[in-house]
Amino acid sequence: MKQTLAELMRMSRICRMVFATCLGSFILVIFYFQIMRRNPFVVDGCCRKGSRNALQELYNPTQPELSGAAVLHQARRDQVVDACRVYSASSRKRRVLTPGDLKHLVVDEDHELIYCYVPKVACTNWKRVMMVLTGRGKYSDPMEIPSNEAHVPSNLKTLNQYSIAEINHRLKNYLKFLFVREPFERLVSAYRNKFTLKYNSSFHKRFGTRIVRRYRKNATQEALLNGADVKFKEFAEYLVDPATQRDGPLNEHWQTVYQLCHPCHIHYDMVGKYETLEEDANYVLRLVGVGDSLRFPSYAKSTRTTDAMTAQFFSNISTQQQVQLYQLYKLDFLMFNYSIPSYLRLD
Ligand SMILES: *[C@@H]1O[C@H](CO)[C@@H](O)[C@H](O)[C@H]1NC(C)=O
Ligand SMILES: *[C@@H]1O[C@H](CO)[C@@H](O)[C@H](O)[C@H]1NC(C)=O
Ligand SMILES: *[C@@H]1O[C@H](CO)[C@@H](O)[C@H](O)[C@H]1NC(C)=O
Ligand SMILES: *[C@@H]1O[C@H](CO)[C@@H](O)[C@H](O)[C@H]1NC(C)=O
C-alpha cells in the first residue's frame, strides 16, 4: 500500500513536470511563431530545426529547379581552381591570409552566408540585401535602404571581426559567394564614376591631384589643385606605374577581385556574374530559402557602363598601356572566364 502511494506521488510529480514542460514549449512555440511572422527569412532560411543550409542546398539540391544551375556553378568553380593552379605554378609568391585580408567578406550568421563585395559589381544592392537578411525583420524591401546607409561599415559584420576559430568555422560551413564583372568594364565604370562626375571631390582630391601632378606635363594650377579632370589615359598611366604599386594596395574600386576576395585562398562556392546579375542573385536567394519573399533589386540604370563604351575609352590609350592593363587584370580575366576583349591590340 505504501509503495503504491509513493508510486502515485511520483506519478503526479511526473505529471506536473510534463505539464510544466508542455506549458513551457507552448510558450516557446508562440514566441517562435511571433518571430517568424515578423521576419519571414528566419523561418525559411536558417532556424528551422533540421533544415538544410544554403551550402547543402547548393551541392546537393533538393529543389529540382536548382539542379540545372548547379552544373553551371560547378564549371565556374572549376575554372577558378584551374586558373589558380596555373598561377601558383608560375609564381613563387605564396602567402597566408591574415584577418586584415577578410575586410570585404560580409557575414550573415542567420543564413550562414559570406558575401565578398567587389565595388562596381552591384555591391550597393548586395549590401542592401545583406542588411535585409541580417536585419531580423528590420527591413523587408532592400530599396527602402538609402545607398549611403548600405555603405556604413557598422551596418554589416565582416569576417575580420571574428576570432581565428570563428573565422575558420564560418569559412568551412557557410556558403561563400562573390559577384564579378568583365574587368575592363568594371575599370571604366570606376573611372567614370570617380573622375568624370562633378560630385565626388574626395576622389579628385585623393587621387586626381596626384595623377595630374605625376602624369600631366604642364598642368594648369587649377588642375593641380582640384584634380577634377583626370583623363582615362592618365588614369591608365597611374595604374600601371610601378610607383603606384609601391604606394600600397590599389583603391578598392579598381583593385583586382583577386586581391579583394582572395579566390585562390578562399574557396568560393558560388561565382555570380554581373552579366547575369538578376538570375545569379536570385539563385543565391533561392538557395538560402528566401526566394519567394525577397527578390534582388532589378537594374535599370541608363548610365551603366557597357562593352561598347569600354572599347571607346580603350581606343584612346596606347597599345603599350593596353597590354600593361591586361597584365594587371589578367588573373581576373582568367579566373572568371572573360576572354581577351576584341578591341585590344595585343600584338
Ligand atoms: C567560358 O566561356 C566560354 C565562352 O564564352 C563558354 O563557352 C564556356 O562554357 C565558359 N566556361 C565556364 C566554366 O564558364
Ligand atoms: C565620395 O567618396 C568618398 C570616399 O570614398 C565617400 O566617403 C563619399 O561618400 C563620396 N560622396 C558621394 C557624394 O558619393
Ligand atoms: C604650358 O602651358 C602654357 C599655358 O597653357 C603655354 O602657354 C605654354 O606654351 C605651355 N608650355 C609647354 C612647354 O607646353
Ligand atoms: C578620346 O580622346 C579624344 C581626344 O583627346 C577626346 O576628345 C575624347 O573625348 C576621348 N574619348 C574618350 C571616350 O575618352
- E-strand ranges in the chain read 105-108, 113-116, 157-158, 175-180, 270-273
Is ligand 2 within 6 A of the CB of residue 202? yes
pLDDT value of position 92 = 64
Grid coordinates in use for 41? 527569412
Residue 302 CB partners (closer than 8 Å, separation 6+): none
Instruction: Supply the pTM of this predicted model.
Output: 0.81
* Alpha carbon distances (Å) from 329 to 24, 70, 83, 234, 278: 59, 28, 13, 17, 25
Contacts of 302-307 with C-beta under 8 Å, sequence gap 24+, read: 304/189, 305/185, 305/188, 305/189, 305/192, 306/185, 307/182, 307/185, 307/341
From 73, 276, 337, the mutation candidate for ligand 1 (largest count of ligand atoms within 8 A of CB) is 337
Collect all residues with Cβ–Cβ distance below 8 Å to 249 and sequence separation of at least 6. 255, 259
Cα–Cα distance list, 158 to 101, 124, 130, 166 (Å): 11, 15, 11, 12
Provide the pLDDT confidence category of residue 83 given band limits of 50, 70 and 90: very high
- In degrees and rounded to multiples of 5, residue 138 shows phi and psi of -65, -40
Ligand 4 center to 253 CA (angstroms): 22
Of the candidates 124, 130, 118, the residue with the CA atom closest to the CA atom of residue 157 = 130
Checking if the pLDDT of 25 tops 60, the result is no
Residue nearest to atom 1 of ligand 1 (CA): 337
Which residue of 194, 200, 204 sits with most ligand 2 atoms within 8 Å of its CB, as the best mutation to test the pocket?
Answer: 200
Q: What confidence category does residue 137 fall into, taking pLDDT thresholds of 50, 70 and 90?
A: confident
pLDDT of residue 182: 97
Distance (angstroms) between ligand 2 centre and the Cα of 212 equals 20
> What sections of 64-116 are H helices per DSSP?
67-90
Q: Report CA(275)–ligand 1 centroid distance (Å).
A: 13
Query: pLDDT-derived band of residue 115, with 50, 70 and 90 as boundaries?
Result: very high
Using the predicted structure, report yes or no on whether residue 277 has a pLDDT greater than 60: yes
C-alpha torsion sign, points 127, 77, 184, 306:
negative
* Cell numbers at 132, concatenated: 535585409
Higher local confidence (pLDDT), 321 or 63: 321
Mind listing the pLDDT tens digit for each residue in 249-269?
Answer: 999 999 999 999 999 999 999
pLDDT band, residue 50 (cuts 50/70/90) = low
Q: CA 122, CA 298: separation in Å to the nearest integer?
A: 10
CB 171 within 8 A of CB 116: no
Q: Using CA positions, which residue lies closest to atom 7 of ligand 2?
A: 202
